[in-house]
Structure 1
Amino acid sequence: MAGAAGPDAGATGERRDMSQRDGGQGTGAGVVRMSPARRTPVGSVLRAVAAAVAVLLGIAVVVYLGRAGYRDVDGRGLTFVDCLYYAAGSLFPADYAGVTPISTSARLASVVVIMPLRVVFLVVLIGTTIRVLDERSRQAYKIKRWRSRVRDHVVVVGYGTKGRSAVVGLLGEGMRPENIIVVDTDQSAVDAASAAGLVTVQGSGTSNEVLRSAGVPDARAVVVAVARDDTAVLVTLTARELAPNAQVVASVREEENVHLLRQSGADPVVVSSGTAGRLLGLATSTPSVVEMVEDLLTPSEGLAIAEREVEQTEIGASPRHLSDIVLGVVRGGRLFRVDAPEADAIEPGDRLLYVRKATPATG
């Protein structure tokens, strides 16, 4: 199979994607990860300290208001500092080996200095464990909620140069980041996708179990953006088997391998080397044409190519006479260019491929 051995030319110097890492071999079950909540450490600590101080003061006030029912060890009434010490001792009980602060200054030092140091000691011992368990619990809850709510999502296999560009295009079309699932074996690629707010699954796209974890059976579309043509065929076959009705879009380096991707179940097949070569050829004589093509392919600025349903008032009219710049008519899953005889008159159920003003991505 042509192009199977060489890396993607556009990925030179870039991070290799999952197909280059594992050579198409399965790596077991995928690990789903949601984008972590963006909380600063300082903010988390301040919120925890504020909550602890509020609880401490609350107990001290309750004891002080009911101080008539309390007596100190020497039989005298309680001051507010005594109540504060009692509250701190109730929250953080400890055996001082018979040593008990009696004076007001000693009790105040115990509350202000010793008790906080005890808390710091406990945080050093068990803080990391609690933080890890808490993050795992939040992840498990978020994943469970995501699985129950996700619909109409897109799975992108491979987060290299092509995969990242595909995600940018999806976000530019208004898709929410949580509805985009990235599959890759490279830890750095998974981390980058997660930092962008995407759902990630670490594993090989050639594995049934990994693609099931990514929700391929219920996906609207699967984008195969791996670097090797042979791996693209395997991923496409696996995805098509799991999702017979989903749209599978694949990228291939060499044009002679297009028929293999189509036979494997891919719908549109994009030839990366052929497309780039044609643009390079145009750039030598008409660079402005290349600039316009790039503009049309960038959904967040300038002009963009989009697809829409026809309006009732447009049925029977010629697409060339509409206010929109129509490029083609999609009828029954087939695309007819605007100059084709089949596109002379718009029919019910048609969809129009047209040029619109791009809107900035909001995801």
Structure 2
Amino acid sequence: MIHLPRVRQGPLRALGVRLALAVALVVSTVVVIYAGRSGYRDVNEDGLTLLDCFYYAVVSLSTTGYGDITPVTPHARLVNILVITPARVLFLIILVGTTLEVLTDQYRNSLRVSRWRRKLKDHIVICGYGTKGRAAVAALLETGYDKSRIVVVENRPDGVRQAAANGLATIEGNATRSAVLLEADVKNCKAVIIATDSDEASVLITLTVRQLTAGQVRIIAAVREQENSALLKQSGAHHVIVSSATAGRLLGLTTTAPPLIDVVEDLLTPGQGMALAMRSAERAEVGRNPRELRTLVVALIRRGKVLPLGGEQALSIDTGDMLVYIRDDEASVDVAV
């Protein structure tokens, strides 16, 4: 099931709107009846008062019809045919508005899903909306990624509700199933981020994504244990983040060199201080040593391989290289890492 973000109307407001429509319809009917009251006859034959008009409007619109007030002239009967009867139908529609609203919402949701599928392109699929999944989405949004191009796959009801409440398109289901991933249009996505709480599920999702996409979609997975990293890479993951090992290294840094952890956190936290970023090499930079540039370049990415700039080896920038550099987070960037 696909859940698209939407602004929900409160129940009190919805009830108030329906009540206002019903009252407006009754008042409009009373005005019409009162204007042509000479064409009606009641059992007392003393003419219709304003109260009688209200009474006749209510019993007519509610299809009660006691028959104590009846139209007798051709004009009054014509008004009943052209005005009162359509108003009665409209009044019944308002009374059964809850059922009608459900059907309308289903039809509207089908149209929204169809439009969403047509516009969906180069999106990122997030499998799992737990702690890691929410952090991954937050990092994407903080670096300027469009929220409409993020699709969450989650099978926990609370995770589905939270993702939808945060304005994300959500597929409710198990990401290990091919049908669920196809609902997320995994074949045409830009990347798949696997952020489940189970290493076994991460391996199975990786295998399923690789089978569906023939290895054409980049897969980034997170695992708890280091020993499962090699298994995920063999299954088809391009990048594997070991959460326990990474946390352990950061803990060690905090113990032996406390200031380093502050630098690492600053680099990994968009929106403040320094940040890692990546951009394409400009034509004027080709052939130059990266250390000669105004920006602090820490690595080159050439044909998918990372070339560090440390050591005595002198590297020059080639056409097509990507530069990984440290920037001031207030400056504009092409792609944030």
1:164 corresponding residue in structure 2: 134
Instruction: Give the secondary structure class of the aligned counterpart of 1:181.
Output: strand
Describe the superposition over 1:221-259 as per-residue Cα deviations: whole angstroms up to 9, x where unpaired: 000112222221111111112122111001122222222
Q: Which residue of 2 aligns with 1:100?
A: 69
Per the alignment, residue 137 of structure 1 pairs with 107
Other-structure match for 2:236? 265
| Alignment partner of 1:176 is 2:146 | yes
Tell me, yes or no, if the aligned pair for 1:157 and 1:182 is still in contact at 8 Å.
Answer: yes
Kindly tell me: are residues 94 and 33 of structure 1, through their superposed partners in 2, closer, same or farther at Cα, counting changes over 3 Å? same
Q: 2:276 aligns with which of 295, 299, 305?
A: 305
Distance 1:283 1:95, change over 3 A: same
Residue 212 (structure 1) shift: 0.6
1:330 aligns to what SS in structure 2?
A: strand
Asked if 2 retains the 8 angstrom alpha-carbon contact of 1:152 and 1:179, the reply is yes
Contact 1:336-1:342 at 8 Å conserved across structures: no
Q: 2:111 and 2:198 mapped to 1: Cα distance?
A: 36
Name the residue aligned to 1:72. 39
Which whole-Å CA distance do the structure 2 matches of 1:316 and 1:341 have between them? 18
Which protein has the larger Cα radius of gyration, Structure 1 or Structure 2?
2
Is this contact kept in 1: 2:297–2:324, CA < 8 A?
yes
Match of 2:84 in 1: none
What is the match of residue 194 of structure 2?
Answer: 224
CA deviation string 1:302-324 (max 9, x = no partner)? 33212111222222222222222
C-alpha distance in 2, partners of 1:310/1:178?
29
Bigger Cα displacement from structure 2, 184-193 vs 90-99:
90-99
The range that moved more, 307-316 or 159-168, is: 307-316
Deviation of 1:87 after TM superposition, in Å, equals 11
Deviation at 1:146, TM superposition (A): 0.7
36-45 or 310-319: which moved more?
A: 36-45
Query: What amino acid is the match of 1:331?
Result: R
Unaligned runs of 5+ in 1: 1-30, 103-114
Shift of 1:332: 0.7
What CA distance in whole angstroms lies between the structure 2 residues aligned with 1:132 and 1:93? 23
Task: Give the deviation of 1:346 after TM superposition.
Answer: 1.4
Letter in 2 for 1:98: G
Number of aligned residues: 310
Residues 153 and 170 of structure 2 are in contact (CA less than 8 Å); yes or no, is this contact kept in structure 1? yes
Which residue number corresponds to residue 24 of structure 1? Answer: none
TM-score (normalizing by structure 1):
0.73
The one of 320, 325, 344 aligned to 2:291: 320
**Residue 357 to residue 100, structure 1, CA distance change in 2 (3 Å):** farther
Distance in 1, Cα, partners of 2:53 & 2:210: 67
User: 1:328–1:336: 8 Å Cα contact kept in structure 2?
Assistant: yes
Match among 282, 303, 317 for residue 253 of structure 2: 282
Q: Does 1:189 align with 2:159?
A: yes
Percent identity reads 38
Is the aligned partner of 1:205 residue 2:175?
yes
Residue type at the aligned position of 1:296: L
CA distances 1:188-224 after superposition (whole Å, capped 9, x unpaired) = 1111111111111122111111111111111100001
Name the CA distance, whole Å, in 1 between partners of 2:283 and 2:52. Answer: 77
Stretches of structure 2 lacking an aligned partner (at least 5 in a row): 72-86, 332-337
Q: Distance in 1 between matches of 2:155 and 2:250?
A: 31
- Worse-superposed segment, 131-140 or 36-45: 36-45
Distance 1:93 1:250, change over 3 A: same
SS at match of 2:175: coil
Bigger drift between 49-58 and 183-192 goes to 49-58
Instruction: Work out the CA distance in 2 between the residues paired with 1:170 and 1:335.
Output: 22
Counterpart of 1:323 in 2: which secondary structure? coil
Instruction: Using the TM superposition, name which of 244-253 and 339-348 deviates more.
Output: 339-348
Distance 1:359 1:245, change over 3 A: farther
What secondary structure, in the 3-state scheme, does the structure 1 residue paired with 2:192 have?
Answer: strand
Give the TM-score of the pair, scaled to structure 2: 0.79
Question: Is the CA contact 1:299–1:359 (under 8 Å) kept in the aligned structure 2?
Answer: no
Residues 1:95 and 1:326: Cα distance change in structure 2 (over 3 Å): same
1:351 alignment counterpart? 322
Judged with a 3 Å threshold, the aligned counterparts in structure 2 of structure 1 residues 252 and 100 are, in CA distance, closer, same or farther, namely same
Within 5 Å, which residues of 2 pair with 1:14-53? 31-48=1-18
Decide whether aligned partners of structure 1 residues 234 and 343 sit closer, same or farther in structure 2, where only a CA change above 3 A counts: farther
Q: Quickly say closer, same or farther: Cα 1:162–1:89, change in 2 above 3 A.
A: same
Cα RMSD of the aligned pairs, angstroms, is 3.6
Closer, same or farther: CA 278–42 of 1 in aligned 2, 3 Å: same
Q: Provide the residue aligned with 2:122 in structure 1.
A: 152
What CA deviation, in whole Å up to 9, does each residue of 1:20-57 have, x standing for no partner? xxxxxxxxxxx211123243334444544555566666
